[in-house]
Each structure stands twice: as structure tokens, then as C-alpha cells.
Amino acid sequence: MRASRSIPATLFALVTCALASAADAQRGAMTDTTTRAVDRVFDAWRSTDSPGCALGVSRNGRVVYERGYGMANLETGTPISPSSIFHVASVSKQFTAMAIMLLAREGKLSVDDNIRKYLPEIPDYGTPITIRHLLTHTSGLRDQWELLSLARGRFEEDRITEADVMDIVPRQTALNFTPGADVYLAGSLAPAATEVTPQGVTLSSERLQRRAGVYVQPRTMQIVELLVRDGRLMLGRQGTVALTPVSEDRMRISGQPGEAVFTDAAASAFDLTPVGGRPLRFERRPSVVVTPQLLASYAGDYVSDELAGAVYRVTSTDSTIALRTGTSTPVTARLVFADTFLGGGYTIQFTRSRGQVTGFEVTNGRIRHVKFVRRKP
């Protein structure tokens, strides 16, 4: 996770509001013998040229000892202190969840409360988003870090504030999915590091060739490319992960649990069936012939109200397009099927009206269908 607060910022705002009046913990003291014994445990991290940690010890609910060891910043010579701020990333999840559950136990909120009760600036999407949805990653809210990264053209973690998050989240006109209908942290068909070759059956070259092509999961817009290399069906454009047949219709993805089940002889679709999970249907899309004239039709300036007016300029070459906002590094994207490109970890799907390109939508694993509208020349 790239974010130091990877549960949606709305949940953190909720905790902050609810706990603002909590009293500070009273401090006590430990004996010199005890503090020296504690310090010896951290001897390896007391150097002035290495990282370290901040320590806090509590007894019966009271902080009795706190100290920093090692350096917070080697360049400035800043040591770690008990008040040093750390990038804790996903470690924050369980603490936030525990704080919410304590508040629920005290009757100060219910996990089934609509979050708009506490954060009215969140739009009404027609289906209530509850605190429980936030706790279980099933709210459907788009990822704020991806939205800000897309708006700026770069990920500037050190320059993201709570105000930035609460500015961009209310601008979203749609959710990734209906609250409770899906899970935010989902798996994918990414190549695995470990190759496993199960025992299988042999399929004809003709059948393998029929299965090669481009497939899309319509709900998530995840795109899978299959190709035949050295008599094997391979996953990805580079063809580094094999699909090994275990029956006429089922193929095991090397290094990953689950199977790809082809639903008909024409290979118009396949179901990705994870172990213990529900199948995901991937549908074949026909390929297109890429020409400079076709790519040039996408060139222009596009603006997104959902990203606070961010403007992307699209340019074309003979084989790809590039998308750029401001002084950011351009995202190069290639056409994979009609009006749909892959680039920079995004699926970019252009929209048309009466045959003319009118905009595009951006999707990845954390945000779906963020809209851009083409500016008139």
C-alpha cells in the first residue's frame, strides 16, 4: 500500500471527530534499572547513522517510559524522538478499526450508521454507505490516492493533506461498485513469482490458437491477453506465465490458485475460478487494426470535473497514444480492442457519440470509470 492511511480517509475523519475530546494519558516513571534494561534491548538501533524506532511503554493505562533510538533523517541529522511521525501505511488499519469498535461498544456510534451522518459532504449515491462497509473494504468508494495521483499526473505522497482528500472525494459522481457488492482489495491475474507446472492433458494447436486473444472483465475492466508460444497458451503480452490444460475446458494458471474455465468451443469467454471464490467472467473482444489515422482521432484535450478540473492532452504516434497533464511524465498507451487502451497500469476506454470521440474513462484496480470529457477545439 502506498498510503499511510489506507482505509478511506472518511473513516479517519470519523475517528478524529469522535475522539477529539479524549483526555491525554497520564504519565508515570520507571526505575533507572528498568530503563537501562529496556535501552539495552535497543542497543543495535542507537546509532547516529542508521534507522531506529520510537518506543512507548505503558503500565495500567499510563505511559511510564518513552524514548527514541536511531535517526529520523540522516541528511539533516535529525534523531528519532517519541514525537516522531512515521509512515505506518497499512499498520493503521487495525488501530482505526479498533477505535471504531470501542466507540461502538460505548454507544457513541453504530457500525451500521450511514457515514453521511458524520460526513455530510460525501455524496448520496442512492445506496447508503455504512461504517461497516468502510471497515470491510466494501464501500465502493474510489481510492483517494489514485484519484489524486491521476489528477496531478504523479504521486506526491509528501504533499497530500486531509484537505486534499476531502476536496476530491466529494467530487466523485459514482462508486466503484454498489456498497456491499464487492471487495476493494481484490486479487488479479498478475503473473506470480513462483512457477508451478501441474500435470495436464494435451490440447491441439488449433484449440490453443482459438483461445488466444484479448479478454475483458466487464465489471472491473481488467484486461487479459493470451497468446500461444512454443505450443503453450501464455498469459500476458510478454508471455511469461503458462496456462496448463488439466481437462478439455479447464486450464491451471502457473503459480496461482484457481483455474480458467473456457465456456464454449469458440472461446468467446472464460471464467476465472479462484479457490473458494466466485467465478469472474472474462469476455473476448475482437482485435482492431491500428493505423496512424485511427490513433489521431483520439488526439485532443480532455477535462475531468471529478478530478477538480484536471486536463489531459492526448497525442498520437504511428502505434500508440500518450496522455499527459501539466509537466508530468506522459502515459503511453496502446490500443487493445475498439476504443480501449492499456497504459500506465490503467484501462483507458474512449467514449463516442454519433461516431465521434467525446471523452474517455479511466479504470484500474482501485478506481473505476473516472470520467473525462473532450474539449471542443
Task: Please write the tens of the pLDDT for every residue from 335-360.
Answer: 999 999 999 999 999 999 999 999 99
| High-pLDDT (> 70) share of the chain, % | 87
pLDDT of residue 134: 94
Cα–Cα distance, 263 to 308 (Å, whole number): 43
30-44, 244-258, 273-287, 294-308 — most confident range: 294-308
Coil, strand or helix: which one is 238?
Answer: coil
How confident is the model at residue 87, as a pLDDT? 81
Q: Among candidates 305, 304, 337, 338, which has minimal Cα distance to 323? A: 304
**Tens of pLDDT, residues 246-273:** 988 999 988 877 789 998 888 899 999 8
The reported pLDDT for the residue numbered 21 is 33
Query: Which secondary-structure segment (H or E) carries 163?
Result: helix 162-168
CB 67 within 8 A of CB 98: no
Specify the higher pLDDT residue, 366 or 16.
Answer: 366
Whether the per-residue pLDDT at 213 is higher than 90: the answer is yes
Helix (H) or strand (E) holding 24: none
**What does the DSSP 8-state code read for residue 258?**
S
For 99, the enclosing helix (H) or strand (E) is helix 92-105
Q: What is the mean pLDDT of the chain?
A: 86
Residues 6+ apart with CB under 8 A from 304: 151, 310, 312, 370, 371, 372, 373
On the CB side of 303, how many CA atoms lie within 13 Å of its CA? 6
Percent of the chain as helix, strand, coil, to the nearest 5: 25, 30, 45
Cell of 22: 479524549
Domains of the chain: 93-171 (no CATH), 205-285 (2.40.128.50), 292-374 (2.40.128.50)
What per-residue confidence (pLDDT) applies to 237? 83
Mean pLDDT within 169-179: 96
Kindly state the cell numbers that stand for 60: 495500567
Of the candidates 355, 358, 331, 352, which has an alpha carbon nearest to the alpha carbon of residue 342?
331
Q: Which of 333, 332, 326, 12 is nearest to 149 (CA)?
A: 326
Nearest to 331 by CA among 314, 318, 317: 314
Give the bridge partners for 282, in sequence order: 270
Find the mean pLDDT for residues 62-68: 91
What angle is formed at CA 135 by the lines to CA 132 and CA 141, rounded to 5 degrees? 90
Check residue 251 and give its pLDDT.
92
What is the mean pLDDT of the segment spanning 30-40? 84
**Burial of 107: CB neighbours in 10 Å, binned 0-12, 13-18, 19+:** exposed
- pLDDT score of 193 more than 70: no
Please state whether the predicted TM-score (pTM) of the whole model is above 0.85: no
| pLDDT higher than 90, residue 28 | no
Mean pLDDT calculated for residue range 190-202: 49
Quote the percentage of the chain above a pLDDT of 90. Answer: 63
Among 242-246, 272-276, 289-293, top mean pLDDT goes to 289-293
Quick one: pLDDT at residue 79? 95
The least confident of 120-129, 146-155, 157-166, 197-206 is: 197-206
CA distance 179 to 8: 14
pLDDT in tens, 67-117: 999 999 999 999 999 999 888 878 888 999 999 999 999 999 999 999 999
